[in-house]
Structure 1
Amino acid sequence: MRTVLNDDLHVHYGQCYVHSEGGDPFQGRRTACFAGQRNGLCGAATAGTLYLITGLHTGNVGFRVEVHDTEPPDQGAEDVVEVSFRVEGASRLVTWGGESSWDLDLAPGDYRVRYAGTAMDAGHTRDTRPAGEPERDHYLLQFWPAPPAPDAIVRRTSAIAEYWHDVARKLPPPPG
């Protein structure tokens, strides 16, 4: 296992992203990223993009990114989803507006991605985390090589995750 990031990550509008070269340019269209999915936390419907939702609206969330050779064990987070992601070129974790980014150093190919959130409702209730305030919600993003498969909701416990799952389920399927 390789850890790419284990630190605070600044979010705006409860969002951050993963971009891979070779995919469709990301235009910030949440609906396109979640179209046809069951889960509303990790949008993978737009090639080359993962659109990640957090409970906290603005401020720092705890964030860890791991790359594995095989499927890692489930860490038991409160809200867990999985999606497939194809890497064709350089991939980066990017904050809203591109203020910060981290190279994921993923080899080209197909990956399964697990996105897990803990205390999402606490983050959502707080809304904004000023500097120096204790962490409310935190997230784990894991990648491992795997063939493409439909997105899945592994576990859901928070009201804000259920809200976003419901939003995604109501979107029309992607065109074409």
Structure 2
Amino acid sequence: MTRPITEHTGQLFVHYSQFLVQEEAGSVTEDLPLGDNGLVEAGEGRLTVHTGIHTGDIEVTLRAYGTEPEAELAGFEEVVEVSVTSPSGNLTVGELMTDPGAFPSLAPQGPGSYRLRFHARGRDTAPDEAPEHVVEWYLIQSWPAPPAPPQALALNDACGAELREASSGQEITRTVPVAENSGLAAIRARQARLEQEGD
């Protein structure tokens, strides 16, 4: 089993159902539409990770490796990989409306190209709500790697299915039927609101 070089777990406060991965020196990757995976999108020089909750704390674990680690698929509904470039070696996780917080860099080996693997669990628990305690967990693995196309290793939550469907305009087969998830209407309302705010 590959051991991480650095590891950090902490809480992050979410605004408007998203948090960011940003590079101090500017653009991190080519644009990536949300409809491609329903978890991570890229634009305006940063990565945006979409949460189920609207506002509140989530738990985020960062693990940086020297070589590609095993994907931790057990216990996570969504797992997506993307390539990024870190010109400064300061690739940070942060909140939407504040400067990067106490999380260490996802590029501890300095400037270069990295692969990020995003894992998400719990996005269907309280969609578009503001829970008083943590109901969502995220793991981000990073390691040096040449650029490669984005890859989805697991796409199994209803939140991601709804975001993919709303973003792509195509019908997506859900792993959770609509009748079993009362939060889907809230997710649709959130996506409609985000599209209106973007106009």
**TM-score (norm: length of structure 2):** 0.71
Are residues 150 and 160 of structure 1, via their aligned partners in 2, closer, same or farther at CA, if it must alter by over 3 Å?
A: same
- Which consecutive residues of structure 1, in runs of 5 or more, have no partner in the other structure? 26-31, 171-176
Q: What is the aligned partner in structure 1 of residue 94 from structure 2? A: 94
Deviates more, 1:54-63 or 1:103-112: 103-112
**Structure with the larger RCO, 1 or 2 (CA within 8 Å, 6+ apart):** 1
Superposed displacement of residue 84, structure 1: 0.6
Q: What is the aligned partner in structure 1 of residue 130 from structure 2? A: 128
Q: Residues 147-166 of structure 1 correspond to what in structure 2 (within 5 A)?
A: 147-166=146-165
Return the match for 1:51 from 43, 48, 53. 48
| % identity of equivalent residues | 28
Contact 2:37 2:155 in 1 (8 A): no
Are residues 116 and 71 of structure 1, via their aligned partners in 2, closer, same or farther at CA, if it must alter by over 3 Å?
A: same
Superposed displacement of residue 4, structure 1: 4.5
Larger Rg, first or second structure (1 or 2): 2
Q: What is the aligned partner in structure 1 of residue 39 from structure 2? A: 41
Contact 2:113 2:147 in 1 (8 A): yes
Superposed displacement of residue 51, structure 1: 1.0
Superposed displacement of residue 67, structure 1: 0.6
Are residues 35 and 88 of structure 1, via their aligned partners in 2, closer, same or farther at CA, if it must alter by over 3 Å?
A: same
Superposed displacement of residue 105, structure 1: 5.9
Over residues 40-64 of structure 1, what are the superposed CA-to-partner deviations in whole Å (9 max), with x where a residue is unaligned?
31123554x2111111111011111
Are residues 168 and 147 of structure 1, via their aligned partners in 2, closer, same or farther at CA, if it must alter by over 3 Å?
A: farther
2:25 is equivalent to residue 22 of structure 1: yes
2:141 is equivalent to residue 142 of structure 1: yes
SS at match of 2:85: strand
Q: How many residues align?
A: 159
What RMSD over aligned residues (CA atoms) do the two structures have, in Å?
A: 2.4
Over residues 40-97 of structure 1, what are the superposed CA-to-partner deviations in whole Å (9 max), with x where a residue is unaligned?
31123554x2111111111011111111111111111211111111100122211120
Deviates more, 1:33-42 or 1:57-66: 33-42
What CA distance in whole angstroms lies between the structure 2 residues aligned with 1:34 and 1:157? 20
Q: What is the aligned partner in structure 1 of residue 59 from structure 2? A: 62
Superposed displacement of residue 21, structure 1: 2.6
**TM-score (norm: length of structure 1):** 0.79
Q: What is the aligned partner in structure 1 of residue 80 from structure 2? A: 81
